[in-house]
Structure 1
């Protein structure tokens, strides 16, 4: 999976990912969520990786149809992804560790994350 993501996206994808990540990282968010479909998943992964490199303390959350299908392989292949939400985030996010973090604004209580 990692090889497929790293080879997809064309020559300019890295530049775009870095630029997008800079905009996201400038928000100083504790939790950063990305939703993605299959065709945009490689770029989403690159942006998430760049955000985590810029803000290691930010919890990186992935959701959407593609993330739901490859949740555990994503968590294994990309250690910078902290949590994958499966299904409809309107239901799963409030129950997840990231949802608890968003409500509490206290990252010290965050437990190790996985697929939810």
Structure 2
């Protein structure tokens, strides 16, 4: 289970692994270093907006921060391997309409191939 504490722990680990100071993140976020320290320790609320700003600073996706040190639940390098299959049962007249909607005037050519 992903908790706020785990996300904050991940942020701290990423920051340390990247050799980034709390002060440099605080400056980017336009807050005091002490305020950032409170945020990282969970004594200040971590909003989605703030998490997005931290992700931008780290040059990471939010999902990669949340699932650190593992990559997110997806792998961008293999996105082209992902495919979806949609199966719909339609009467002939509706099928022709849907095919034309999806493929335009090429629908008959596609069906014949």
TM-score (norm 2): 0.23
Higher strand proportion, which one? Answer: 1
Bigger relative CO (Cα 8 Å, ≥ 6 apart): 1
- State the TM-score, normalized to the length of structure 1: 0.23
Instruction: Specify which structure has the higher proportion of helix.
Output: 2
Query: Highest CA radius of gyration, 1 or 2?
Result: 2
